Structure 1
Amino acid sequence: MLQGELGTNPAVIQILYAFGVGFLSSLTPCVYPMIPITLSIFGARGDVPTRRSFLLSLSYVVGIATTYTILGLVTAKAGMVFGTFLAKPAVVLAIAVFLFLLALHTLGILNIPLAALQSKAGTVGGKGFGGAFLMGTVSGVVAAPCVGPALVLILVEAARAESTLWGGVLLFSYSIGLGLIFLVLGTFSGLVKKLPGSGNWLLTVKYLIAVAVLVTVFYVLKPLDLTVLEKVSSLSPVLAGILIVITAFLGFITLRRQAASGQLVTATVLAFISFGVLNHRPSSGELEVTWQPGPDKALQVARSSGKAVMIDLYADWCAACRELDRLTFSDPRVVKTLNKEVVPARLDFTRETEKNEELSDRYNVMGLPCVLFVDPDGEEIPDTRLTGFVTPEKFLQHVAKVERILKNSVS
């Protein structure tokens, strides 16, 4: 099941985000100046018919997409298997430090020797469709050092996905964004001469990528339940917007003056506030689901009320779990329905516990997210399990279905 439903949101937003990050990657100083050279190597030149140039360029982009899609599938699978491991504080800190170093590299403060890899891509492949495809597959791994930080952003999302397929979709979207400029300029080779030259605008692109990397750093640190992250997530949208505008203006000044330390400070602040906006939580005064402290307590309540029990299994490393919490379980209609019609309980699977293992074995839980509906005796109600993101509207329909099934089983 994909992470969301195209038409509502989280899925579309994540796909567009991956595509946008990919496109920004193609504008970095390590990739952009190499575009004409790359196109000429596999034969997409001005003296080649447009149709052939298009097919050559498409072969190259398909090669990139093949490598990244496979990488996405593998990363998502690893994230599903090692999800609880990835949530351990030491691992979280190690990933955050690694991403921070990539941000420093992107801003030019720290030099990570990746450039030597770039030349290797040009030695693999060659002219013709097969050569273009092969060159694309290798370029997907080693061609562009500046792609590294941006690529890690999408890999982190893939690792947090609840399905292997979704990880592949994210990396495929990223690769299409990265390859779009090659496809367009390879097809219409005359446009290459009209490309703006390398300049300060490329440094702006690097700055934006660094901000995106730093936003991911804060997301990675989220499982540690840091108070400062909770506070920035509660900022009012208006105040956060004002702070973003002011910080962005200061960032522009540091770019003009080429002040590396100033760029790091403004990029970090901008990323911090942006994280708060993206992770904004309603004030505690708003209606909230009354969660029971655990399944056992919920079953006690259900036996006296005759209601179904909803058990939400979640983890901080589960992206779709966060989307359910942020978009569905916060919807006023859903909150009222859960508090009135069922007995809601939740269990944290971020770290392995004996209780989690017992429940997983009892209900044959294969992965997260997982929302179980059980009767007052603790038996799962057939055909009611949810294993992915659902919109508030569909969730309400699902709860109504659960009530009908439970009522029919009792009568």
Structure 2
Amino acid sequence: MAAVPLVVGYVGGYADGSRRRAFLYAAAFAFGLALAFTGVGLAVALAGAIFLPAGGLWRGVLIVLALVAGASLLAGRALPGMGAPRCGGDGVVASHWKGGFGAFVTGALSGVVFAPCATPVMVGILALIGNQQDVLFGTLLMFLYSIGHGALLLAAGSSVGFAQWVAGSHWAGRVNWWFTRVAGTLLVGYALYLASEMVG
């Protein structure tokens, strides 16, 4: 997750060793990130509601997105052009404000910058959202994803020790390996389902 070093660095720089401030700053960061991701989901949901009835071009784009994201997860590789050098977070999204508001703004800016790098799972969810004509459902789905995505950021920002444990844990690595393969299989299956609907 590209934003983990950023939230850990922000909290470490401004919390002054206070666990309470560390938790509040990490929560504000995760909330800002969640709002940015939800905004992306809302935009895709609106686009789906507008373009889906128009024909098969939009659905074809969604099929390609789901296939590419699924194949990326199955291969255990980043999406083309979205690897670590491009999504590593070089501090370019740091805000000029400090405290809880600064953490919120930094999280929101990070959501905008890192949205394409938030793992292929997010791309798959966006493809699912774009295939619906229910804007409220799509926005809610993206918000729930954002909350789950932010949970690790909250834990990592509140406890650097936890972040280091996750990074070095063999168990966490195995869970991630299985999760990405299952998610990739589901995304490829979803893309094939959309393709069969177009053919049918």
Bin the TM-score by the shorter chain.
Answer: 0.7 to 0.9
Deviations 1:228-271 (A, max 9, x none): xxxxxxxxxxxxxxxxxxxxxxxxxxxxxxxxxxxxxxxxxxxx
In the alignment, is residue 42 of structure 1 matched against residue 10 of structure 2?
A: yes
In the alignment, is residue 213 of structure 1 matched against residue 181 of structure 2?
A: no
In the alignment, is residue 151 of structure 1 matched against residue 116 of structure 2?
A: no
Is the alpha carbon distance of 1:214 and 1:97 closer, same or farther for their aligned partners in structure 2, counting shifts above 3 Å?
A: farther
What is the aligned partner in structure 1 of residue 139 from structure 2? 168
What is the aligned partner in structure 2 of residue 62 from structure 1? 31
What is the aligned partner in structure 2 of residue 346 from structure 1? none
Where 2:111 maps in the other structure, the secondary structure is helix
Residue in structure 1 matching 2:62, options 52, 70, 95: 95
What is the aligned partner in structure 1 of residue 71 from structure 2? 104
Deviations 1:18-66 (A, max 9, x none): xxxxxxxxxxxxx28x73x323421247843222112101110111111
Where 1:175 maps in the other structure, the secondary structure is helix
Structure 2 spans left out of the alignment, 5+ residues: none
Higher RCO (C-alpha 8 Å, min separation 6): 2
Is the alpha carbon distance of 1:51 and 1:196 closer, same or farther for their aligned partners in structure 2, counting shifts above 3 Å?
A: same
Deviation at 1:133, TM superposition (A): 1.7
Larger mean CA deviation between 177-186 and 137-146 belongs to 137-146
TM-score (norm 1): 0.40
Q: Which residues of 2 match residues 72-87 of structure 1 at below 5 A?
A: 72-85=41-54
User: Do 1:50 and 1:187's aligned partners in 2 also have CA atoms closer than 8 Å?
Assistant: yes
Any runs of at least 4 consecutive aligned residues in structure 1 with deviations exceeding 6 A, and if so which? none
Where 1:82 maps in the other structure, the secondary structure is helix
% same residue: 28
Larger gyration radius, structure 1 or structure 2: 1
Deviation at 1:181, TM superposition (A): 1.5
User: Do 2:52 and 2:58's aligned partners in 1 also have CA atoms closer than 8 Å?
Assistant: no
Residue in structure 2 matching 1:114, options 82, 85, 97: 82
User: Do 1:117 and 1:143's aligned partners in 2 also have CA atoms closer than 8 Å?
Assistant: no
Q: Distance in 1 between matches of 2:78 and 2:149?
A: 24
Q: Distance in 1 between matches of 2:167 and 2:87?
A: 22
User: Do 1:124 and 1:134's aligned partners in 2 also have CA atoms closer than 8 Å?
Assistant: no
User: Do 2:155 and 2:163's aligned partners in 1 also have CA atoms closer than 8 Å?
Assistant: no
Letter in 2 for 1:80: A
What is the aligned partner in structure 2 of residue 356 from structure 1? none
What is the aligned partner in structure 2 of residue 197 from structure 1? 168
TM-score (norm 2): 0.76
Q: Provide the aligned C-alpha RMSD in A.
A: 3.3
Q: Distance in 2 between matches of 1:149 and 1:201?
A: 19
What is the aligned partner in structure 2 of residue 177 from structure 1? 148
Q: Distance in 2 between matches of 1:201 and 1:190?
A: 14
Q: Distance in 2 between matches of 1:194 and 1:110?
A: 23
Deviation at 1:197, TM superposition (A): 0.2
Q: Distance in 2 between matches of 1:189 and 1:166?
A: 35
Deviation at 1:142, TM superposition (A): 3.3
Deviations 1:53-96 (A, max 9, x none): 121011101111111111111111111111234x62x6545533
Deviations 1:321-342 (A, max 9, x none): xxxxxxxxxxxxxxxxxxxxxx
Is the alpha carbon distance of 1:162 and 1:60 closer, same or farther for their aligned partners in structure 2, counting shifts above 3 Å?
A: same
Deviation at 1:207, TM superposition (A): 4.7
Structure number having the greater helix percentage: 2
Deviation at 1:213, TM superposition (A): 3.4
Deviation at 1:202, TM superposition (A): 2.7
Q: How many residues are matched?
A: 194
